[in-house]
Amino acid sequence: MRGILLLAALLLSACQHVSTPPPITGQIRDLHSGQSLTAQELVARLAKPDRIIIGEQHDNRDHHQLQLWLLQALGQRRSQGSLLLEMLTPDQQLRVDDVRHASTPPVDLPGALAWQSGWDWDLYGPIVRFALAQPYPLLAANLDNAEVRAFYVQSPAVSGSRSNAPSVKKELLEQISGSHCGLLPQSQMPAMLAVQQQRDRRMAQQLIAAPTPSMLLAGAYHARKDVGVPLHVLDLGEPDAPIVLMLAEQGSEVTPAMADYVWYTPATPTQDYCAEMRKQMGK
């Protein structure tokens, strides 16, 4: 049984009134009908499916605030079964479980979880703290670093006709190249693609196994219905794909093939990451 002190420390965020979403301007659309939705209408629709994936831009603070609000608002409509995070790996699961069942809260929560520095704790911390205070499990959805290294050295293909479609691999290869500013040697691309798809396959396996209603928080390409986790869920034999809500900045293109719903948020200033990388590499 979780200790009283841990609950007292972590439930502070859970006791707030969550009927009104954060003051973030934007537009919500049902991508199949084209209908505009209110935040409350979106929550009503998301309360029905067993599995939901919410795609994010990792460094967008608005997206994380909306994820937390959606988790809270959905919890008021029905009992949440589980929350899965791309940001957690299997070797962290025992630490997560230990914190959930501890009699006293850790002084250094990120340290206790072995939180990876590549994920900004200022952005993810509120979601993690809220989830740890709930009765449902917080679950790892990603690969361990050792698994990533192994898949990089030996690049096995995933099974299934959907995830092996040439159009899927082409789209993912273009995304991988673009995210690395076109600087990756072609010889590395097959291994990078294999790792990407093995991540998607693991997230799909974890989502299928998780108690429902389940929610997975992941990056946009992992969340996409046309190239990511939903395809792997179907290739693993599930009759229905998860419902996908994409959080996207205004100006981004999100089509019905990619997601079921989109919540457009204001665009944020960005640095020219690729120009800086080319400068550092002397290119």
Mean pLDDT of the region 71-95: 98
* Domains of the chain, each with CATH number or no CATH: 4-15+27-143+201-280 (3.40.50.11550)
Query: Which tens digit of pLDDT belongs to each residue from 221-272?
Result: 999 999 999 999 999 999 999 999 999 999 999 999 999 999 999 998 766 6
pLDDT at 11: 47
Mean pLDDT of the region 61-76: 97
SS3 261: strand
CA 39 to chain centre: 20
pLDDT at 278: 57
Q: Which residue has the tokens 């795609």?
A: 55
Q: How confident is the model at residue 211 (pLDDT cuts 50, 70, 90)?
A: very high
pLDDT at 105: 84
| pLDDT > 80? residue 281 | no
Which of the 8 DSSP states describes residue 16?
S
Six-digit token pair at 238?
A: 């599930």
Q: Is the pTM of this model over 0.95?
A: no
**Cα dihedral sign, 176-155-237-219:** negative
* Residue-level length of the chain: 283
Mean pLDDT of the region 61-71: 98
Query: Which tens digit of pLDDT belongs to each residue from 123-181?
Result: 999 999 999 999 999 999 999 999 999 999 998 889 999 999 999 999 999 999 888 78
pLDDT at 18: 56
pLDDT at 155: 84
CA 50 to chain centre: 16
Query: Which tens digit of pLDDT belongs to each residue from 11-65?
Result: 444 444 556 889 888 899 999 999 999 999 999 999 999 999 999 999 999 999 9
pLDDT at 283: 57
pLDDT at 104: 87
Six-digit token pair at 200?
A: 């998607």
pLDDT at 272: 63
